[in-house]
Amino acid sequence: MIGCKCPVCRSDDLRDQRTRHSLIIESGGTRLLVDTPPELRLQLVKEGIDSIDAVFLSHEHADHTHGLDDLRIFSGGGREPLPFYVAQEFEKELKQRFDYIWGEGEQTQPGSVVPDLDMITFVDGEPISPAGFEVIPIAFPHGVYRSYGFRAGALGVIIDGKSVTPDAAKMLSGIEVLIINALWFGDPHPGHFSIEEAVKVGRRLGASRTYLTHIAHRATHVEIEAGVPSGVSPAYDGLVIDL
């Protein structure tokens, strides 16, 4: 956090140096990127990611979208437009906010490059196939907003959420691995799970492994590890999970 001198923000443990949420699903060299946070360029450079085949956007909030311009490196220049999957309810907002990409009649400044993105919309519960991955988008209440996670095989992802509806729980039934947002221990938050709430969701869904993401700076990685049960782990930047 800017200007913060708490133990987490001053920690030398690289696992405490948390950038904003994104993840990549990879199989056989094909990559699906989930979310485009402001640190996207730094994340991709750090992890040596040089190709993306499709993008899934969870919702329209700035911390999940404002690295979108860095997708220009993966499209244009004779390449096909990059498939960009977004919930139908967010289409209008995104096209207005990024009208230099999707606005009708917009002209690119000579010598500059903008992302060439093929926006493909989805709705809750209807399967999609970004880059060939079989994905079921799932809506989750996010305070007064909605955010979309998904199921992909044995993997369930709840990116921003505060509760799991009965329909969502049914779609996630039988997952082996859950990735779920969890801000901190204790105090409830109107739009996100606490760590305790996220642990309960993992148990409810029957996940054998639960990874906590979207973590705030109230506890160190080591403190979180010590405070969660077996089968639950705090995620960290650069973590790789084999499925």
Task: For residue 100, count CB atoms less than 10 angstroms from its CB and return exposed for 0-12, middle for 13-18, buried for 19 or more.
Answer: middle
CA–CA separation, 138 and 58 (whole Å): 10
Instruction: Find how far residue 212's CA is from the centre of its chain.
Output: 12
pLDDT in the model for residue 138: 98
pLDDT tens profile 113-142: 889 999 999 999 999 999 999 999 999 999
pLDDT tens profile 35-60: 999 999 999 999 999 999 999 999 99
| Mean pLDDT of the region 205-220 | 97
In the predicted model, is pLDDT for residue 12 greater than 70? yes
Q: Judging by DSSP bridges, how do beta strands 82-87 and 54-56 pair with one another?
A: parallel
Q: Max Cα separation, the chain?
A: 56
pLDDT in the model for residue 107: 61
* Per-chain mean pLDDT for the chain: 95
CA–CA separation, 37 and 175 (whole Å): 26
Residue type, 208: S
Question: Domains of the chain, with CATH numbers?
Answer: 21-124 (3.60.15.10), 135-236 (3.60.15.10)
CA–CA separation, 17 and 15 (whole Å): 6
In the predicted model, is pLDDT for residue 34 greater than 70? yes
